[in-house]
Amino acid sequence: MPELPAEPLRAVTDAEVATFRNDGVVHLPAILPTAWLDHLAGPVEATIADPAVTTDMTALRDGLSDTDPTSEPRPRFLSGVDHWRHDPSFAAFATASPLPAIAGALLDAQRIHLYEDSVLVKEPGTTEATVLHQDLGYFHLEGERICTTWVPLDDVDAETGAVSYLRGSHRTGLVHRPNWFVVDDPLPGADGEPVPHVADDDPRFVRFDVRPGDVVVHHAATLHRAGPNRSTDRRRRAVSVRYCGDGTTHLLRPGSPGKPHHDGPLHGADSAVPVRSGDPVVDHPGCPMVWERTVGSIR
């Protein structure tokens, strides 16, 4: 694998840090070297072609809804998680790209740990929307330094299913019950507050038109959603990587999908050193430290 840039194209500005803290989301234009996106293009295609590592969210919605699915093939919304665990290309992106340093700057962290990654692809004509949800309820983590980086591989706008974020929702202190992403129904056995109903025209919603090389970062407690891909010829491919910083602890949440290194009957740790609720996040094969602040860090 060729050596790729470890540094962002520019520093995260003080204004961008302030926006992240106040709104719970920030758009960082032209910050990621696009060589990383070229590096991911083939692995993304291989991933979405493999039903063993990718979920067909279109079929999932059909199975969860009361409507009769059509027998005709339809454009699909495809999603997968934890590709870094088995694919070196995704592992390199999550651990050696500029993303950990960007997360460290925004979270004002001394150390950054990788939690998980995800592939999210909406093909042209995909009718599934991503319903309003909050990432924190899915994460077995507790703390203020937890974020999601969203990296587009295509130009993304409202027509192709750009993500909308409810500004300020990260400051409520609430952890919302996780849902199925494509319907509002909560995951069975999951805890948390109900996801609120928010009007589509609520002025707190913000959406960004983004291009390859941009990164959008939101706090794990920020409510967000995304529309269908209404275009006829444009894909919406994105890779999302989730990080946490110092001061974060593990918190095993009932009903939320677990990780192999999580202890307990709901998860069944296969790690030699399983983690338990209350354990601080430290360097661990299942949640490795991927960045540490040094003199000359990007902020």
Predicted confidence (pLDDT) per residue in 158-182, tens digit = 999 999 999 999 999 999 999 999 9
pLDDT exceeds 90 at position 281: yes
Sign of the C-alpha dihedral computed for residues 277, 218, 232 and 34 taken in this order: negative
Q: How high is the pLDDT of residue 237? A: 98
Edge to edge, the sheet with strand 223-226 lists 130-134, 223-226, 163-166, 205-207
Q: How high is the pLDDT of residue 273? A: 77
Tokens read off for 211: 């291009």
Q: How high is the pLDDT of residue 62? A: 86
Q: How high is the pLDDT of residue 262? A: 87
Of 210, 71, 195, which is closest to residue 134 (Cα–Cα)? 195
Q: How high is the pLDDT of residue 130? A: 96
Q: How far apart are CA 236 and CA 231, in angstroms?
A: 10
pLDDT exceeds 90 at position 268: no
CA–CA–CA angle 130, 235, 159 (5° rounding) = 60
Most confident of 127-136, 262-271, 290-299: 127-136
> pTM here?
0.94
Q: How high is the pLDDT of residue 61? A: 85
Mean pLDDT of the chain: 93
pLDDT exceeds 80 at position 55: yes
Q: Which residues contact 39 (CB under 8 A, 6 or more apart)?
A: 1, 4, 89, 92, 93
pLDDT exceeds 90 at position 37: yes
Rg for the chain, CA atoms, rounded: 18
Between these two residues, 105 and 65, which has the higher pLDDT value?
Answer: 105
Q: How high is the pLDDT of residue 73? A: 74
Domains in the chain, ordered, with CATH? 14-63+74-281 (2.60.120.620)
pLDDT exceeds 90 at position 283: yes
pLDDT exceeds 80 at position 27: yes
pLDDT range class, residue 71, cuts 50, 70, 90: low
pLDDT digit string, tens, across residues 102-118: 999 999 999 999 999 99
pLDDT range class, residue 298, cuts 50, 70, 90: low
Of 226, 221, 295, 284, which is closest to residue 276 (Cα–Cα)? 284
